[in-house]
A and B are shown apart, each in its own frame.
Chain A
Amino acid sequence: MKRSSKIMSVLLSALMASGILTACSSGSTTTTTAAATTTAAATTTAAETTTAAEETTTAAETTTAAETTKTTETTAADDTSSSGTLNYTGEISLMHFSTSEESEGNGGSDGFRTVIAQWEKDHPDIKLNQTVLANDDYKTQIATQAAAGDLPDVFLLQGMNTKAWAAQGLIMDMTDIIKSSPYYSEYNQNYFTPFTDNDKLYGLPVLTGGTCTVVVYDKNAWKEAGYDAFPTSWDDVKTADEYFKSNGYKETIAFGNGGQWQINSDFLSVIGDRYTGPDWFQSLVDKTGAAFTDEEFVKALTFTKDIFASGIFNDDFNTVTNEDAREYYISGESPAFIGGNWDVSYIGATLKESDKDLYNNTGFAVLPQPSDATGSTNTQNIGLGYAVSLNSKLADDQDKLAAATDFAEYVTGPEFSSYVAKNYALSGLTKVENVDLSAFDQFTQDFYNYSYVDTNTCEIYDSYVSSAVWSVLNTDLQTMLNGDMTPEDVAKAAQEAYEANY
Chain B
Amino acid sequence: MLSRKPKAITFLVYLTIPILLYVFVVFFPLLTSLFYSLFEWKGGPNKTFIGGANYTQLIHDSVFWSAFRNNLYLVFLCLIGQVGIAFIFVMIINTRYIKLKGMHRTFGFFPSTIAAVSIGFIWTMIYDSRRGLLNWFLEKVGRADLQQVWLNNSKLVMTLVSIPLIWQYIGYYMIIMLSATAAIDTEILESADLDGANAFQTAVHVVLPMIKSTIMVCIVLCVSGNMKAFDNIYVMTKGGPGNASMVMAMYGYKISFEQQNMGYGSAISVGIFVLGIAVIGAMQLLQRAISKEEVI
Residues of B within 8 A of A471 (CB): 254, 258-259
Residues of A within 8 A of B221 (CB): 18, 22
Identify which of B223, B242, B291 gathers the most chain A CB atoms within 10 Å of its CB.
Answer: B242
* In contact, B259 and A468 (Cβ under 8 angstroms): yes
Known: A18-B221, A476-B242, A478-B242. A318 touches B149 (CB 8 A): yes
Known: A140-B257, A318-B241, A478-B241. A22 touches B225 (CB 8 A): yes
Docked complex Cα distance between A146 and B238 (Å): 24
Docked complex Cα distance between A112 and B261 (Å): 31
The total of chain A residues at the interface (CB under 8 A) is 58
Docked complex Cα distance between A343 and B57 (Å): 39
State which of A16, A24, A484, A501 has its C-beta within 8 Å of the C-beta of B259: A501
Q: Name the distance in Å between A3's Cβ and chain B's nearest Cβ.
A: 13
Docked complex Cα distance between A24 and B249 (Å): 12
Residues of B within 8 A of A31 (CB): 29, 32-33
Q: Is A453 an interface residue when CB atoms closer than 8 A count as contact?
A: no
Q: Is B253 an interface residue when CB atoms closer than 8 A count as contact?
A: yes
Q: Is A51 an interface residue when CB atoms closer than 8 A count as contact?
A: no
Chain A positions 14 through 28: 1 when the CB is less than 8 Å from some CB of chain B, otherwise 0: 111011111111111
Docked complex Cα distance between A30 and B276 (Å): 16
Residues of A within 8 A of B224 (CB): 18-19, 22-23
* In contact, A25 and B228 (Cβ under 8 angstroms): yes
Chain A positions 80 through 113: 1 when the CB is less than 8 Å from some CB of chain B, otherwise 0: 0000000000000000000000000000000000
Q: Is A258 an interface residue when CB atoms closer than 8 A count as contact?
A: yes
Identify which of A19, A21, A23, A260 gathers the most chain B CB atoms within 10 Å of its CB.
Answer: A23
* In contact, B259 and A319 (Cβ under 8 angstroms): no
Q: Is B44 an interface residue when CB atoms closer than 8 A count as contact?
A: yes
Q: Is A311 an interface residue when CB atoms closer than 8 A count as contact?
A: no
The chain B residue sitting closest to A167, CB to CB, is B46
Chain A residues 143 to 166 lying within 8 A of chain B, measured CB to CB, are: 143-144, 146-147, 149, 161, 164-165
* In contact, A23 and B238 (Cβ under 8 angstroms): no
Residues of B within 8 A of A168 (CB): 42-46
Chain A residues 3 to 17 lying within 8 A of chain B, measured CB to CB, are: 7-8, 11-12, 14-16
Chain A positions 452 through 478: 1 when the CB is less than 8 Å from some CB of chain B, otherwise 0: 000000000000000110011001101
Known: A8-B291, A169-B45, A471-B258. A27 touches B242 (CB 8 A): no
Q: Is A482 an interface residue when CB atoms closer than 8 A count as contact?
A: yes
Residues of A within 8 A of B270 (CB): 27
* In contact, B45 and A28 (Cβ under 8 angstroms): no
* In contact, A482 and B241 (Cβ under 8 angstroms): yes
* In contact, B253 and A15 (Cβ under 8 angstroms): no
Docked complex Cα distance between A260 and B243 (Å): 11
The segment from B7-15, B102-110, B212-220 found at the interface with A is: B212-220
* In contact, B30 and A28 (Cβ under 8 angstroms): yes
The chain A residue sitting closest to B129, CB to CB, is A316
* In contact, A316 and B130 (Cβ under 8 angstroms): yes
Q: Name the distance in Å between B213's Cβ and chain A's nearest Cβ.
A: 5
Residues of B within 8 A of A164 (CB): 42-44, 260
Docked complex Cα distance between A149 and B249 (Å): 24
* In contact, A23 and B277 (Cβ under 8 angstroms): yes
* In contact, B249 and A28 (Cβ under 8 angstroms): no
Docked complex Cα distance between A320 and B154 (Å): 15
* In contact, A26 and B248 (Cβ under 8 angstroms): yes
* In contact, B266 and A30 (Cβ under 8 angstroms): yes
Docked complex Cα distance between A478 and B259 (Å): 17
Q: Is A435 an interface residue when CB atoms closer than 8 A count as contact?
A: no
State which of A18, A149, A478 has its C-beta within 8 Å of the C-beta of B220: A18
Q: Is A181 an interface residue when CB atoms closer than 8 A count as contact?
A: no
The chain B residue sitting closest to A171, CB to CB, is B44
Chain B positions 222 through 253: 1 when the CB is less than 8 Å from some CB of chain A, otherwise 0: 01110110100000011111111000110011
Chain A residues 269 to 316 lying within 8 A of chain B, measured CB to CB, are: 315-316
Q: Name the distance in Å between A151's Cβ and chain B's nearest Cβ.
A: 9
* In contact, A15 and B284 (Cβ under 8 angstroms): yes
* In contact, B129 and A259 (Cβ under 8 angstroms): no
* In contact, A147 and B260 (Cβ under 8 angstroms): yes
Docked complex Cα distance between A14 and B33 (Å): 26
The chain B residue sitting closest to A165, CB to CB, is B44
Chain A positions 475 through 495: 1 when the CB is less than 8 Å from some CB of chain B, otherwise 0: 110110110110000000000
* In contact, A15 and B216 (Cβ under 8 angstroms): yes
Residues of B within 8 A of A468 (CB): 259-261
State which of B32, B213, B256 has its C-beta within 8 Å of the C-beta of A11: B213
Chain A positions 230 through 261: 1 when the CB is less than 8 Å from some CB of chain B, otherwise 0: 00000000000000000000100000001110
Q: Is A177 an interface residue when CB atoms closer than 8 A count as contact?
A: no
Docked complex Cα distance between A149 and B266 (Å): 17
The chain B residue sitting closest to A141, CB to CB, is B257
Residues of B within 8 A of A225 (CB): none
The chain B residue sitting closest to A15, CB to CB, is B220
Docked complex Cα distance between A485 and B240 (Å): 14
State which of B44, B46, B213 has its C-beta within 8 Å of the C-beta of A8: B213
Q: Is A449 an interface residue when CB atoms closer than 8 A count as contact?
A: no
Residues of B within 8 A of A33 (CB): 253, 256-257
Known: A33-B253, A143-B43. A24 touches B260 (CB 8 A): no
Residues of B within 8 A of A140 (CB): 257
* In contact, B213 and A7 (Cβ under 8 angstroms): yes
Q: Is A41 an interface residue when CB atoms closer than 8 A count as contact?
A: no
* In contact, A26 and B228 (Cβ under 8 angstroms): yes
Docked complex Cα distance between A22 and B226 (Å): 10
* In contact, B242 and A24 (Cβ under 8 angstroms): no
Docked complex Cα distance between A11 and B288 (Å): 12
Residues of A within 8 A of B225 (CB): 22
* In contact, B269 and A30 (Cβ under 8 angstroms): yes
* In contact, B217 and A15 (Cβ under 8 angstroms): yes
Q: Is B137 an interface residue when CB atoms closer than 8 A count as contact?
A: no
Residues of A within 8 A of B152 (CB): 316, 318-319, 482
* In contact, B26 and A319 (Cβ under 8 angstroms): no
Q: Is A29 an interface residue when CB atoms closer than 8 A count as contact?
A: yes
Q: Is B265 an interface residue when CB atoms closer than 8 A count as contact?
A: yes
* In contact, A467 and B151 (Cβ under 8 angstroms): no
State which of B27, B228, B262, B288 has its C-beta within 8 Å of the C-beta of A29: B228
Interface contacts beyond A26-B273, A467-B258, A471-B259: sample of 11 additional A-B pairs, CB < 8 Å, sorted by A: A22-B227, A23-B276, A24-B30, A27-B270, A149-B44, A164-B42, A164-B43, A168-B46, A250-B130, A258-B240, A485-B242
Between A and B, 7 residue pairs with Cβ closer than 8 Å are A12-B287, A14-B217, A21-B26, A27-B270, A28-B26, A32-B29, A316-B128
B interface residues with partner A (beta carbon < 8 Å): 26-27, 29-30, 32-33, 41-46, 128-130, 149, 151-152, 154, 213, 216-217, 220-221, 223-225, 227-228, 230, 237-244, 248-249, 252-254, 256-262, 265-266, 269-270, 272-273, 276-277, 280, 284, 287-288, 291
Q: What 3 pairs between A and B have smallest CB-CB spacing?
A: A479-B242, A27-B273, A168-B44
